[in-house]
Amino acid sequence: GGGATITPQQLIAAQAKQNATFIEEEEKRMRKMQARQDKELEQMMAFEIKMGELQRERDAAAELQARKDEAKRRAKERAARKRAEDKRLREAKRLATEEAEEAQRIAVTRAMFEKERELRAQRTRQEKVLRRKARAKEEERLRKQEEHRLQTQRIMQEQQNAIKRRMKEMELAEQERSALVEKKQAEDRHRKQMRRAQMEARIQR
């Protein structure tokens, strides 16, 4: 026929090309598969690491909780011991306080009795002193009263004497004034008479 004839060389070349393509695709597929396996391996390792970390965290948390529980237990024991000790101390303090209060009551009662006895004796002494002072004061008051009466009597007498002297002086002064007035009036009358006489004498001439 009229179709193109393929030479053996061309056939070999085509076969070689086809083989090369197949090899390339196979290599590509192998690389992909290798990458996927690498990724899976990486993910597995990461998962293992993560699980290890989680386990360590759980262990640490459990250990911490155990330490907390132990600390709490010890704290409770300490608190219980402290409560018991506080109660014992409170009871001892209460007893000591009651004893001290009783002793104080006895001491106060005794002191009050002694104080009252001393006060009674003191009041008796003070009353004696006050009575003595009152007597002396009354005597002094009477002495001063008499002295004042005599002094007042003397002053009144002196005042009366002074009034009498003053009245006498005023009386004398009035007499002197009356005498002067009378003398002046007589002189005035005499002068008037003299002037009248002189005037009459001039008229007669």
Burial annotation 53-78 (CB, 10 A radius, 16+ → b, else e): eeeeeeeeeeeeeeeeeeeeeeeeee
**Which segments within the chain are labelled E, that is strand?**
none
Give dist(CA 108, CA 114) in Å, integer: 10
pLDDT at 4: 65
pLDDT at 188: 92
pLDDT beneath 70, residues of the chain: 1-4
Q: What percent of the chain has pLDDT over 90?
A: 82
